[in-house]
Amino acid sequence: MSDATVSKPCEPLLSLEHLHVRFGDTVAVDDVTLAIGRGE
């Protein structure tokens, strides 16, 4: 008997939810939101 663990392809291990970048004389990242999943 064996149990198979199936990972959901629609749930990435690391996803970038929000990114706001300003371009001027320098590039500034104002806000970054990451979602990190647990690879079980």
Please give the pLDDT value at position 8. 56
Residue 22 lies in a domain: yes
Residue 2 lies in a domain: no
CA distances from 37 to 3, 4, 24, 33 (A): 22, 19, 34, 13
Please give the pLDDT value at position 40. 57
Task: Give the residue numbers spanning the domain of 16.
Answer: 12-40
Residue 1 lies in a domain: no
Tell me: the pLDDT tens digits for 1-40? 455 555 555 666 777 778 778 888 888 888 788 777 766 5
The pTM of the full predicted model, rounded to 2 decimals, is: 0.32
Please give the pLDDT value at position 23. 84
Residue 7 lies in a domain: no
Residue 39 lies in a domain: yes
CA–CA dist 11, 39 (Å, integer): 10
Please give the pLDDT value at position 18. 80
Residue 4 lies in a domain: no
**CB of 5 within 8 A of CB of 39?**
no
Please give the pLDDT value at position 6. 54
Number of domains in the chain: 1
**CB of 20 within 8 A of CB of 31?**
yes
Residue 3 lies in a domain: no
Residue 5 lies in a domain: no
Phi first, then psi, for residue 31 (nearest 5°) are -145, 130
